[in-house]
Structure 1
């Protein structure tokens, strides 16, 4: 390309938080698939990261991916103007406070005006470290004065710092913007809609605000400073609630700005509607799988009954439950093999706790960690896939296993039940492809797995049923067509340069 040639404008800018291309997992794999499934389109990726990437991309770059840009949530060098915006700290605090609790696009638009036009944004250092920034923060703290100020200070720095970063970062030029979640990705999508007039789409694999609420409740680094006891009428706000409500508010902003909002299954639309998504914007496009490729996987003869967890070794996947279930099963199946297949670098502390738990229970001859591998090489050796997650959407790994004829036992989260048991409007019933159990119901999970391992005919029947259901409802070709149609009806006639 000549030195003075204009930069190519992508057809679609995908906005991804904490996943592609540096973190392997279901959403990252979906993004890679989406780009490759549409060679007629060009893409760019805006990757939101907690810090500078410490590893090489996990995915080979598709030919139609023009660029990968980064937004680092620890980057303090954004913006150019060092004057405080033309607003009092009280007004700025009130505006930001609304965005953290009940935000909508009008408040986001007003905040963007205060931050200045593209290329002349207020510097992040001014927004976080100036005397006016301190006054703004203290003004908002007045609505939470019962909460720990120290906890509030760091929550504010993180939440508002992230908000300012996504509003001041360079925005790639594209014909359309497609956020792969709400959260900070959804905020950038909302910003793009306001700043460029382009249409913004959202695909939610899981409901971001729900998943963050679960993580916040599990977090041991957030301490409550208010003892509500049993008084349900006590509406004083504490730090955990500030975190949770902020992500719900960000979702409202994203939904209000989006032209169309895609869920992976119908039940998630209930959560989207509850957070203000317009029903006319909603549609369902499930995950899809290359059923022909996975259907070619044949069972490999193996001597030991084998179960496997496939996924990221993180707390929300509850790998500790899988380890406990393996110990329970070993009492009835002494030669059991339990594989934990997937990357272990996203939460090294949790991964190490899982390894320690295996050693503490003396399960090293039963439970093994493979790290990241090509699941195609393993599915033929697995009798039962086991998913113990606390939260899921529509797990790609169940579809891949099902396409290979491997039945699954899963927790009753997300779309696991409808994948394994079918939907009410399925038409001709296919039969179960596995079983579901409540989250944390280790006895029930172990019992369900044991029923399949002890009855090879049921094992094969469930695997065949799941394979038929995946081929009928979750074909990658149909999903690609649906996204092609989604893009086609939302493209603007001609791309315009973003100033």
Structure 2
């Protein structure tokens, strides 16, 4: 079986939870051939592989969204009135849009034509002018058009490229990856599976409201656009996988048909982490070590963690904080974090270790921290739990289900939850756990047992193996 994974802003160029999951999925199914369509914003983002290439990964196809800036106009559209209307329904983010008709048109350069030429053609331009009159009649028309170009042209350019044919397409998010998978499902008449590690549309919404661009008057349309892309994927995918029951409920609320929805959690190599010794059992004889397995990027909110460490250190002079993860993904943010360490006078006990082999450090860690503002179901939490280390996590995504459990056999917590963006709450929990070694041991043991029972990598791999076989064997023709 040839499986085409479609990935946006991740594998193999970004180190992190989703990319690590992809690497584990590919290596866990050596009997299948994989190809990856890697969607990156720019060529600079796809300059270096972060993972060794598995033997059964035969090719990576790179696509760059910002390449649309180099487009020049070309042939115009050749659409019937019904086809032109189907495309406009899609651009209107209409829930009734005929995706089976619209997506093949949008992806066909012989029918839709060049994206720039299409937007200026009678098939689109009058519709756009009417939208302008309805939405922002007193705003800048030029800015309005540019906003539409920035939104639509990258997607059309993405769809109109050539891609491999596989036995199944597997998108690892909605957004551009899910849109492309939906289009290829219709083009090649092959099934499409969607896995969401987080709720992509909600994450983009959060980023958009905080970003300086686009202008405030255009933000609502961009938010609607990403929810529209999500609904295109939900309506088209033959199966959509959520990591948790909570995430599945959100997907259903956004329009996912329940009969095509399944839950498959993340998993880790239990043996790799469970065999690690627990050297951090007597913090009285050494420093109290807090660890963080995390990328230095804004969504992880490292600065809240640093403020929490500063507050806790007033009562815990023996405190150390080891931050394990790549620092080069967003250099500006990483530098802001380093500057904050100096400003808060934390230089003596905060260490940025970079991308390291975490199994060499985890035996010395007393408590692990996660201060993210958004998460799916973090692999880092599962790795720490398998190593019997308690957690202090923000109450986002699937963190609560991991730490508190989801069934009657989960009788003890594996850590503590705190609100996002609340360094005082995180510091308070840090102090409490430092002074309660028995509690730390009990939480660590509860976490290890939970991973052994429900979150082993072998269980996840087998679930996807069965899902691939089920969907492909049930595909007509």
Pairwise CA RMSD: 2.8
2:132–2:144 CA contact under 8 A, matched in 1: yes
Give the equivalent residue in structure 2 for 1:113: 105
Quick one: distance in 2 between partners of 1:155 and 1:271?
29
CA contact (8 A) 1:317 1:390 kept: yes
Find the counterpart in structure 1 of residue 313 from structure 2: 330
Classify 1:12/1:360 alpha carbon distance in 2 versus 1 (closer, same or farther; 3 Å): same
**What residue is the counterpart of 2:452 in the other structure?**
471
Mapping for residues 34-73 of structure 1, pairs under 5 Å: 34-52=25-43, 53-73=45-65
Q: Is the 8 A contact 1:87 1:114 kept in 2?
A: no
For the 8 Å contact 1:151–1:239, the answer to whether it is kept is no
CA distance in 2 between partners of 1:72 and 1:486 (Å): 30
In the other structure, the counterpart of 1:316 is 299
The number of residue pairs the alignment matches comes to: 471
Which residue of 1 is the match for residue 412 of structure 2? 431
Find the counterpart in structure 2 of residue 6 from structure 1: none
Q: Distance in 2 between matches of 1:77 and 1:103?
A: 30
Residue of structure 2 aligned with 1:400, choices 383, 408, 417: 383
For the residues of structure 2 that align with 1:492 and 1:192, how far apart are their CA atoms? 18
**Which of the numbers 221, 228, 243 marks the counterpart of 2:222?**
243
Q: Which residue in 2 is equivalent to 1:155?
A: 147
Separation (CA, whole Å) in 1 of partners of 2:341 and 2:154: 37
Task: Single out whichever of 381-390 and 83-92 deviates more from structure 2.
Answer: 83-92
Deviation at 1:162, TM superposition (A): 2.2
Matched, 1:294 2:285: no
What is the CA distance between 1:152 and its match in structure 2? Answer: 3.4
- SS of 1:489's equivalent in the other structure is helix
Within the candidate set 258, 263, 266, 2:245 is matched to: 266
Instruction: Specify every segment of 5 or more residues in structure 2 that has no aligned partner in the other structure, as ranges.
Output: none
SS of alignment partner, residue 76 of structure 1: helix
Rate the CA distance shift 1:100–1:130 in 2: closer, same or farther, 3 A: closer
Q: How far apart are the structure 2 equivalents of 1:91 and 1:109?
A: 7
Task: Give the TM-score of the pair, scaled to structure 2.
Answer: 0.91
Look up the SS of the partner of 1:38 in the other structure: coil
Q: Is the 8 A contact 1:198 1:492 kept in 2?
A: no
**In 2: Cα distance, 1:216 partner to 1:278 partner:** 27
1:388 equivalent among 361, 371, 392: 371
Q: 1:93 to 1:158 in 2, by over 3 A?
A: farther
Task: Say if 2:215 is the partner of 1:223.
Answer: yes
**Residue of structure 2 equivalent to 1:363:** 346
SS in 2 for 1:66: strand
Shift of 1:439: 1.2
Output the CA distance in 2 between the equivalents of 1:314 and 1:96: 37
**Cα offset, 1:142, TM superposition:** 3.1
Which residue does 1:30 correspond to in 2? 21
> Using the alignment, how far apart are the partners of 1:480 and 1:468 within structure 2?
20
Query: What is the aligned partner in structure 2 of residue 412 from structure 1?
Result: 395
Name the residue aligned to 1:5. Answer: none
SS in 2 for 1:222: coil
Shift of the 79–258 alpha-carbon distance from structure 1 to 2, 3 Å rule, reads: farther
Select the structure that is richer in helix: 2
- Distance, in Å, in 2 between the alignment partners of 1:150 and 1:125 is 15
- Alignment pair present for 1:442 and 2:434: no
Residue of 159, 165, 169 corresponding to 2:157: 165
Per the normalisation by structure 1, the TM-score is: 0.87
CA distance in 2, matches of 1:244, 1:260: 25
* CA positional deviation for 1:309: 2.0
Is 1:460 aligned with 2:452?
A: no
1:317 to partner: Cα distance: 0.9
